[in-house]
Structure 1
Amino acid sequence: MSIYTDRDLQCREIITKAVCGKGRKFSQVSHTVIPPHAPTSILGAWIINNQYEAEKSGESVEVIGTYDINIWYSYDKNTKTDVAKETVSYVDVVPLSYLDKKHRGSTAEVSAVATQEPNCIEAAVSTGGDGVLIRVEREFRVEMIAETKVCVVVCPNGCDDFDDKNLDFDGGDDGDFEELDPELLDEDN
């Protein structure tokens, strides 16, 4: 049952803030850390203190950050151990896979969330034997929030227009099931 005809409908354009862009990027990168002593073997490697911020860059978002690499290693033919520490800077350019071209760009705000914190997936003594090769993976999800126009349908007589139409929108259950056809409820039919 339709309450209004098409000629009764009115539309309004509203300017509001909305998510106008989204993107996600997974990356694997390699770093070489040169500890004070030539490593014999790697005992452990951790990525800590990930800090980042997001900036709009054309039709993408740049995630700019740093993290610390800590490598526990043995040296002097596995007779001594030490921890090498290095702070690494990175920039991940995350393309916006969804972008509303009609957004008002001057008011755009961007944010980034690390859906996978930087994590060491492999650490090995480098071929030359003087450093440690680290493979790190990370993933970011970004959003761009900006002003945009949306079109909404307006009730010609306001919200009170629904009150006099005898419509029941409460969804309440009064326990009245006599009108149900039991054959429709049978799963084997």
Structure 2
Amino acid sequence: MADYREIITKAICGKGKKSSQSAHTVTPAHKPSNILGCWVINHKYKTEYQKDVVIVEGTYDINTWYSYNNNTRTEVACETVSYRDKVQLSLRDKNLISDKVECTCRPLQEPNCLEAKISSSGNRVVAHVEREFLVEVIGETKVKVQVDDDGLVEATLDDDDDDDELEKELSGLDSELLTDEDEDE
């Protein structure tokens, strides 16, 4: 007859992903005639865990290249903006041993300007920015393992399920497609 043991370990106890868009207003020094380009740089962020959500707060610079004076001159307007995203945890282990947790955050989509246009007043630029984050909450939890009569852990890996999934994925591929290397020949 097998016994069970409980192991206390650090594990991913929560996961969440969020994609968001924001509209930011940039005020250039001159009245813009046309928007020539807009990009986002210097992205910095930090995270904070609060119950069922992870708060991601950060800043980035929006650089807008524009023409003015009836398209005779150009300039770049730079403005630092801040944001605050609440990422809901879709996967959450409620059996945490301690309230002390770590949060990791990884941008799946770095902040990127989707569109920049001159505002209706004509004096400002409205930049639409997208971003996406994956957050993980790491904490202490208990794992229950089965041990045999000699006190050894009985671990079984069911590789057949993984092989079946891989076979299904590979069966849908068209073997006639060329790779980049094939095209060079």
Q: Same fold (TM over 0.5)?
A: yes
Q: Which amino acid aligns with 1:71?
A: T
Structure 2 portions without partners, runs of 5+: 155-185
* 1:89 and 2:67 are equivalent in the alignment: no
Identify the match of residue 111 of structure 2 among 110, 118, 121.
118
Identify the residue that residue 27 of structure 1 maps to in structure 2: 20
Q: Which amino acid aligns with 1:136?
A: V
For the 8 Å contact 1:53–1:111, the answer to whether it is kept is no
Identify the match of residue 36 of structure 2 among 35, 40, 43.
43
For the 8 Å contact 2:10–2:138, the answer to whether it is kept is yes
Radius of gyration: which is bigger? 1
* 1:53 and 2:41 are equivalent in the alignment: no
Identify the residue that residue 151 of structure 1 maps to in structure 2: 144
Alignment root-mean-square deviation, CA: 1.5
* 1:129 and 2:122 are equivalent in the alignment: yes
Partner-residue secondary structure (3-state), 1:156: coil
Identity %: 53
CA distance in 1, matches of 2:65, 2:149: 71
What count of residue pairs does the alignment treat as equivalent? 154
Identify the residue that residue 163 of structure 2 maps to in structure 1: none
Partner-residue secondary structure (3-state), 2:112: strand
Q: Which amino acid aligns with 1:132?
A: V
Identify the residue that residue 175 of structure 1 maps to in structure 2: none
CA distance in 2, matches of 1:60, 1:111: 13
Displacement of 1:35 = 0.4
Partner-residue secondary structure (3-state), 2:10: strand
TM norm structure 1 = 0.79
Q: Which amino acid aligns with 1:11?
A: Y
CA distance in 2, matches of 1:28, 1:35: 22
Displacement of 1:111 = 1.0
Q: Which amino acid aligns with 1:40?
A: S
CA distance in 2, matches of 1:128, 1:107: 50
CA distance in 2, matches of 1:60, 1:68: 26
Displacement of 1:105 = 4.1
CA distance in 2, matches of 1:160, 1:146: 23
Displacement of 1:104 = 2.6
TM norm structure 2 = 0.80
* 1:109 and 2:96 are equivalent in the alignment: no
* 1:72 and 2:69 are equivalent in the alignment: no
Deviations 1:18-45 (A, max 9, x none): 0000000000110111101010000000
CA distance in 2, matches of 1:47, 1:149: 43
Structure 1 portions without partners, runs of 5+: 1-7, 162-189
Deviations 1:108-137 (A, max 9, x none): 111110000000000001111000010000
